Structure 1
Amino acid sequence: MKKSMDQQSPKFIRYLILLLACIALYGNMFIFDQPALLKEQIMQTYSPKYGESLTSFYFSFMYSFYSIPNIILPLVGGFMSDVFGYRKMSLIFMFFVIAGQGFIYFGSSVENLKYMILGRFMFGLGGESLFVASSIIINKWFVGKELSFANSLNLSLIRSATVLGTYISPRIAEKSGMTTAFGVGFGITLLSGLALVIMNFIDSYTERIQKRNLQKTEGLLDNSIQVMDFGELIKQILDDIATFPKIFWILTLIMTTFYTSVLIFISFSSGIIIDLWLPVDASVEQNQEVAGELMGIPYLCCTFLSPFIGFMVDKVGQRIKFLAIGCALVFLGLLLMLLFYPIYCMIVLGLSYALFASTIWTSIAFVVKQKQLGHSIWCYEFCLKFCFLCNAIIYSIYFSRSIILNFSCSILFNTCLFVFNYCYLFIY
């Protein structure tokens, strides 16, 4: 590919694609943290039926079952996108997102927690895979100097969905019930599915015109279907992984330790905030609303700061220094949770998250070949979701007020590992 899509297409089309890609992920991000935001109501609803300890154990499945398919899918998902086309695969992934939230909505309406767990599993089949497919198309259209800005703007817009979810989901649940809150999430995923269909149509139509005009295949991916048996597929996967440069694996280690330290902590921070800082005599709904607002602060910071940071990364470079600053802020933020009211911790973690996420994801395109881009992102996701699964189970099984300090220490340990990886990258 001699020319990137951003060199051939009007800026309006490129940013329309970016906007539609963001809307396509909006429902995904809106519904991801709904179980954590509504945990207290879930416990109140199902504890009489299953018992408090078993309900808490089932609740952990809503995150661990989400991660399970994302340990398996990355092994073949990148090549599935390469062989069958990212557009076809993105529609399949979106189907699982919508169907998964539909099962959660149905399970809540009939008060069956097992249906909700099944819905989270189905959501996991499509959720992260849809994010990767979106990353591929953004990299396709913005290869060049605007790549960091485009990815940061995408991160900003989709994280606004998380902010919106943390703000309105507890309020909808308080006024109209938990089932209505899940139903609103289901409606938003339907709108995201419509945006994905429109985006794929524009992308496909534009690509056909360019192929016809230039008489050659354009884009990162060949959308024709190739016949490949399973053994050949596995061999090609292993051969491709073996060619990834050393710096790619270092970045993968850094990314994995960062996200398991920060995002897992934020996802479970609602319960920590309620236990550590909110009044015991307040109602469950009131504490849930306040905790949800505080929980959304990091995503709110990311929403507003990511485009500016992405623009700076494009202009200034110095990606390693941005990663270093993000690393230092993780230490500060997690310590602040134990010492002061959570708002300070969440603001610092939000700044750290914005710095790190705006830098790490765009680094992939600079360290691997373009034809390996899809599978390299899937390798990222494989390592990340494996650690997410382990950490989510540990958090859910051992979470209690008496050992919050132990959890903070374990998170700090992960962050120390992140610093070690960063130092190794700097030396490398």
Structure 2
Amino acid sequence: MAERAAEKAYYRFLVLFFNCLLTFGSYFCFDIPSVLQEQFQGNLSCPNGTHYNGTGHNGTTECVEGLGMTPEEYNLLYAIYAWTNALVVIVAGFLIDKLGNRFGVFVFSFLTVLGSSVFALGSHFRGTPYLLPLMLTGRLLFGSGNGSLTIVQNRITAIWFKGKELALAFGLTLSFSRLGSVLNFFFTQQFESRFGIQWTLWGGTLLCVLGFVSAVTVSVLDKVGMKQLGLDGVIQQESKKVRVQDVRQLPLRYWLLVLTIMFFYNGVFPFVADASKFIQDKYPGYSQREAAYIAGAVYDSSLILSAAIGILIDYVGLRGLFAVGCAVLTLPAFALLAFTFVPPLVSTIWLGITYSFAAASMWPSIPLVVPQATLGTAMGLATSVQMIGIGLSNVIVGKILGTKSSELKIPLWRWQNMMVFMLANTIACIIVAVSLNIIDKKEGGTLNRSTKRSPTEQVAGQPADTASLLNDVDDERSIN
């Protein structure tokens, strides 16, 4: 019947489809600076015209016309995004728990549109004192929206798929987001060479508008679905109980999981931000476009593998062990980049595979260790800690790579020091992930248990955390 459509599997996957589109455009926008790093750090003018192949095959540096940023200013674009997330997502997660998903998707998707617009506007002021403040303001607003939007996205996914295909749903969400990143690495440089940096940034803004339209759509579907299932009132009642003090009740496993996520992402995201330029500086013969393709292979792998890995983890569990394993296997990827001249595509594909396992095992573990009512707050805190780490890493990388000049060539010893820093973060991730598994085993082994068990086993094993929200409501109806 129409009024019971929300109980059908197709309905929750329809919600998932539009939920996935929420961040497609914003993920495209996020890494535009990475693809166009030469243009962001290029000279304000070139005596012999503009050249888009930054480093010639003979080892000489060609002039690239661009925005004239220094390496430190460029990395600040990523750092301020991360720091803004770190501050905003804590409040955002709490507000989402109190005011609901529909409030969150509307406000935060609008902020991504506003932020990307201000960022694009700033590019029109190159050579003036207004360039950097405008672009930083744009990234600040964009970061306020995108990080918080990811929390809402994860919360919607967790509510509709808890006790069902949870890791698969998280994997598909990641795949759609990474599709935006992949398309950015494939097409942005070509688009910029034809239309210029300003129109390229405005094109990214248009994709954020697509996310805003998806936000309106998913809000309608969520409202209709919750009403059909009779869950609207239940969720509102739970939201009224959420208090700031609840943060103190989050378990040790949660905090270890958060640190595991932070240290792993400290290696991946700052590397991707500078990967295109690193490849051109270290490995001879790569054009800017080829380097962008190779750097984007991190996200290509994630796009292809995330859904399949999600299905695997739903059936076998072992989230904690996967977290340790993917961190251990990330070490060789950074080691190859730091100490050898093995083609960089090997390392970026390798890193993409371990990143896919990390994302599919770490983030879906959060709903398993915190109460449903505080999920938004927990996701917000996790994202905040993650972004604090990434922001500090971006600044440290900027210092390592040098801050005095916008010249395109950076000495290889500086790049090697950056890779050693990535290795250090990965080793820290391994240590924390091992501790997480030890604590989890003492407390029942929730993280390494499969979610594809019978409902009876789920409720017996973890009544407050892993039982389906729908089953909870059915039980409440039977009692009444």
Query: TM-score, with normalisation over the residues of structure 1?
Result: 0.89
Shift of the 266–222 alpha-carbon distance from structure 1 to 2, 3 Å rule, reads farther
Partner of 2:471: none
Shift of the 15–45 alpha-carbon distance from structure 1 to 2, 3 Å rule, reads farther
Instruction: State the distance in 2 between where 1:289 and 1:177 align.
Output: 15
The Cα RMSD (Å) is: 2.4
Report the Cα offset of residue 222 of structure 1. Answer: 5.1
Q: 2:434 aligns with which of 414, 423, 428?
A: 423
- The residue identity in structure 2 corresponding to 1:217 is G
Report the Cα offset of residue 110 of structure 1. Answer: 3.9
Greater C-alpha Rg: 2
Deviations 1:116-175 (A, max 9, x none): 221111101101000101100111111113111111111112111100011101110112
Determine what percentage of the aligned residue pairs are the same residue: 27
**SS of alignment partner, residue 126 of structure 1:** helix
- The residue identity in structure 1 corresponding to 2:426 is T
Instruction: Report if aligned partners of 2:19, 2:215 keep a CA contact under 8 Å in 1.
Output: yes
Instruction: Report if aligned partners of 1:90, 1:130 keep a CA contact under 8 Å in 2.
Output: yes
Aligned residue pairs total 403
1:217 and 2:224 equivalent?
Answer: no
- The residue identity in structure 1 corresponding to 2:204 is G
Shift of the 18–412 alpha-carbon distance from structure 1 to 2, 3 Å rule, reads same
Shift of the 423–222 alpha-carbon distance from structure 1 to 2, 3 Å rule, reads same
Deviations 1:270-329 (A, max 9, x none): 1211110133xxxxxx72211110111011111111111110111111112222221122
Partner of 1:148: 167
Partner of 1:14: 12
Partner of 2:468: none
1:355 and 2:374 equivalent?
Answer: no
Q: 2:86 aligns with which of 46, 63, 71?
A: 71
Deviations 1:23-77 (A, max 9, x none): 11101111000011111012225488x9998633322221122122222223322
Shift of the 51–287 alpha-carbon distance from structure 1 to 2, 3 Å rule, reads closer
Partner of 1:308: 308
**Higher alpha-carbon deviation: 34-43 or 352-361:** 34-43
Instruction: Report if aligned partners of 1:60, 1:397 keep a CA contact under 8 Å in 2.
Output: no
Instruction: State the distance in 2 between where 1:405 and 1:326 align.
Output: 22
Shift of the 246–223 alpha-carbon distance from structure 1 to 2, 3 Å rule, reads closer
Instruction: State the distance in 2 between where 1:54 and 1:15 align.
Output: 44
Q: 1:90 aligns with which of 101, 105, 114?
A: 105
Partner of 2:406: none
Report the Cα offset of residue 87 of structure 1. Answer: 1.0
**Higher alpha-carbon deviation: 39-48 or 381-390:** 39-48
Report the Cα offset of residue 114 of structure 1. Answer: 3.0
Instruction: Report if aligned partners of 1:46, 1:113 keep a CA contact under 8 Å in 2.
Output: no
Unaligned runs of 5+ in 2: 47-64, 402-409, 440-480
The structure where helix makes up a greater share of residues is 1
Instruction: Report if aligned partners of 1:96, 1:122 keep a CA contact under 8 Å in 2.
Output: yes
- The residue identity in structure 1 corresponding to 2:272 is I
Q: 1:178 aligns with which of 181, 197, 220?
A: 197
Q: 1:194 aligns with which of 204, 213, 221?
A: 213
Q: 1:121 aligns with which of 125, 140, 151?
A: 140
Partner of 2:182: 163
1:265 and 2:276 equivalent?
Answer: no
**SS of alignment partner, residue 265 of structure 2:** helix
Shift of the 145–316 alpha-carbon distance from structure 1 to 2, 3 Å rule, reads same
Deviations 1:82-139 (A, max 9, x none): 2222211221111110011111222223433432221111101101000101100111
Instruction: Report if aligned partners of 2:6, 2:12 keep a CA contact under 8 Å in 1.
Output: no
Instruction: Report if aligned partners of 1:71, 1:382 keep a CA contact under 8 Å in 2.
Output: yes
Q: 2:122 aligns with which of 75, 95, 107?
A: 107
Instruction: Report if aligned partners of 2:43, 2:68 keep a CA contact under 8 Å in 1.
Output: no
Deviations 1:325-349 (A, max 9, x none): 2112210111122321100000110
Query: TM-score, with normalisation over the residues of structure 2?
Result: 0.79
Instruction: Report if aligned partners of 1:96, 1:126 keep a CA contact under 8 Å in 2.
Output: yes
Instruction: State the distance in 1 between where 2:238 and 2:24 align.
Output: 26
User: Following superposition of structure 1 onto structure 2, how do residues 395-414 of structure 1 map, counting pairs within 5 Å?
Assistant: 395-399=397-401, 400-401=410-411, 402-414=413-425
Instruction: State the distance in 2 between where 1:195 and 1:171 align.
Output: 27
Shift of the 166–54 alpha-carbon distance from structure 1 to 2, 3 Å rule, reads closer
Instruction: State the distance in 1 between where 2:105 and 2:438 align.
Output: 38
Q: 1:41 aligns with which of 39, 48, 53?
A: 39
Shift of the 51–341 alpha-carbon distance from structure 1 to 2, 3 Å rule, reads closer
Instruction: Report if aligned partners of 1:103, 1:116 keep a CA contact under 8 Å in 2.
Output: yes
Deviations 1:379-401 (A, max 9, x none): 10111111111111111232142
Instruction: State the distance in 2 between where 1:102 and 1:346 align.
Output: 31
Unaligned runs of 5+ in 1: 1-5, 280-285
Partner of 1:293: 293
Deviations 1:209-252 (A, max 9, x none): 333xx8x7244x5598x7x9xxxx9xx32x21211111111111
- The residue identity in structure 2 corresponding to 1:380 is A
Shift of the 155–222 alpha-carbon distance from structure 1 to 2, 3 Å rule, reads farther
**SS of alignment partner, residue 36 of structure 1:** helix
Shift of the 54–303 alpha-carbon distance from structure 1 to 2, 3 Å rule, reads closer
Instruction: State the distance in 1 between where 2:66 and 2:176 align.
Output: 40
Shift of the 315–105 alpha-carbon distance from structure 1 to 2, 3 Å rule, reads same
1:249 and 2:268 equivalent?
Answer: no
- The residue identity in structure 2 corresponding to 1:210 is L
Deviations 1:172-198 (A, max 9, x none): 011211112112111111111111101
Instruction: Report if aligned partners of 1:85, 1:222 keep a CA contact under 8 Å in 2.
Output: no
Instruction: State the distance in 1 between where 2:224 and 2:289 align.
Output: 45
Q: 1:27 aligns with which of 4, 12, 25?
A: 25
**Higher alpha-carbon deviation: 260-269 or 310-319:** 260-269
Shift of the 96–52 alpha-carbon distance from structure 1 to 2, 3 Å rule, reads closer
Instruction: State the distance in 2 between where 1:376 and 1:55 align.
Output: 37
Instruction: Report if aligned partners of 2:167, 2:314 keep a CA contact under 8 Å in 1.
Output: yes
- The residue identity in structure 1 corresponding to 2:25 is G
